[in-house]
Amino acid sequence: MSVSSTTPASSAAADAEQQAIPKQRGRRKRVELSEGKKQERKLGWLLCAPAAIVMVAVTAYPILYSFWLSLQRYDLKFPDEREFVWFSNYVTVLTNGYWWTAFGVTMLITVVSVVVELVLGMGLAIIMHRTLVGRGLVRTSALIPYGIVTVVAAFSWRYAWTPGTGYLANLLAPDGAPLTERASALGIIILAEIWKTTPFMALLLMAGLALVPDDLLKAASMDGATWWQRFTKVMLPVMKPAILVALLFRTLDALRVFDNIYVLTNGANETSSVSMIAYNNLIKGLNLGIGSTMSVLIFLTVAIIAFVFVKLFGTAAPGSDEGKR
Partner 1 sequence: MADIVLDKVTKKYPDGTTAVHEVDLEIADGEFIILVGPSGCGKSTTLNMIAGLEDISSGELRIGGQRVNEKQPKDRDIAMVFQSYALYPNMTVGENMAFPLRLAKMDKALIKQKVDEAARVLELTEYLDRKPANLSGGQRQRVAMGRAIVRSPKAFLMDEPLSNLDAKLRVQMRTQVSRLQKQLNTTTVYVTHDQTEAMTLGDRVVVMRGGYIQQLGDPQTLYDNPVNLFVAGFIGSPSMNFLAATVEESVLRTPLGDLPLGDRMRSALSGADAPRELIVGIRPEHFEDAALIEEHQRAKGFEFTMPVDLVESMGSDKYVYFTVEGERAAAADLEDLTADAGGADLPPQDNLVTRLSAESRVRDGVDARVWMNLDKIHLFDPRNGHNITLHEGKAAGVSAA
Q: Summarize as ranges the residues that interact with partner 1 (CB under 8 A).
A: 213, 215-216, 218-226, 229, 233-234, 237-238, 240, 318-319, 321-322, 325
Closest distance between partner 1 and the C-beta of residue 222, in Å?
4
Secondary structure class of 68 (helix, strand, coil): helix
Say if residues 313 and 244 touch (Cβ distance below 8 Å).
Answer: yes
Beta strands in the chain (DSSP E): 72-73, 83-84
Closer residue to partner 1 (CB): 142 or 220: 220
Q: Given CA atoms 280, 283, 289, 292 in this order, what sign does their dihedral have?
A: positive
Q: How far is CA 163 from CA 78, 142, 187, in A?
A: 41, 29, 16
Q: Are 177 and 185 in contact (CB under 8 A)?
A: no
Nearer to partner 1, 81 or 321 (CB): 321
The backbone region for 133, taken as left when phi is positive above 0, alpha when psi lies in -120 to 50, beta otherwise, is: beta
Residue type, 228: W
Least Cβ distance, residue 137 to partner 1 (angstroms): 19
Q: In terms of CB distance, is 124 or 246 closer to partner 1?
A: 246
Closest CB to partner 1 among 82 and 233? 233
Helix axes 150-161, 182-209, angle to 10 degrees: 140
Nearer to partner 1, 77 or 324 (CB): 324
Tell the smallest beta-carbon distance from residue 214 to partner 1 (Å): 9
Instruction: Considering only CA atoms, give the Rg of the chain.
Output: 27
CB of 77 to partner 1, least distance (A): 58
User: Taking the complex as a whole, how short is the minimal distance between the CB of residue 234 and partner 1, in angstroms?
Assistant: 6
